């Protein structure tokens, strides 16, 4: 199963089952994951750590 199909099915599940309150949680988790991946470089790490 491709990643895009999985994401599409996940959004369909959330909308059909009225679980829209979960969307902000997943968006926040995605942003934190991106921040962690970006902070792997040594030059930007001190700036990420000051946010938390």
Domains in the chain: boundaries: 22-52
* 44 secondary structure, DSSP code: T
Who wins on pLDDT, 47 or 24? 24
The C-alpha R_g of the chain, in whole angstroms, comes to 15
Q: With contact defined as beta carbons under 8 Å apart, do 20 and 14 qualify?
A: yes
- The pTM is what? 0.53
Q: Is 2 left (phi over 0), alpha (psi -120 to 50) or beta?
A: beta
The confidence score (pLDDT) of residue 3 equals 73
pLDDT at 32: 85
52: pLDDT confidence band, cut at 50, 70 and 90? low
Q: Would you say residue 14 has pLDDT above 70?
A: yes
């Amino acid at each position: 199963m491709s990643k895009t199909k999985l994401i599409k099915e996940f959004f369909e599940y959330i909308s059909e089952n009225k679980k829209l309150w979960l969307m902000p949680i997943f968006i926040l988790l995605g942003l934190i994951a991106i921040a962690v991946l970006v902070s792997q470089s040594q030059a930007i790490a001190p700036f990420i750590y000051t946010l938390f």
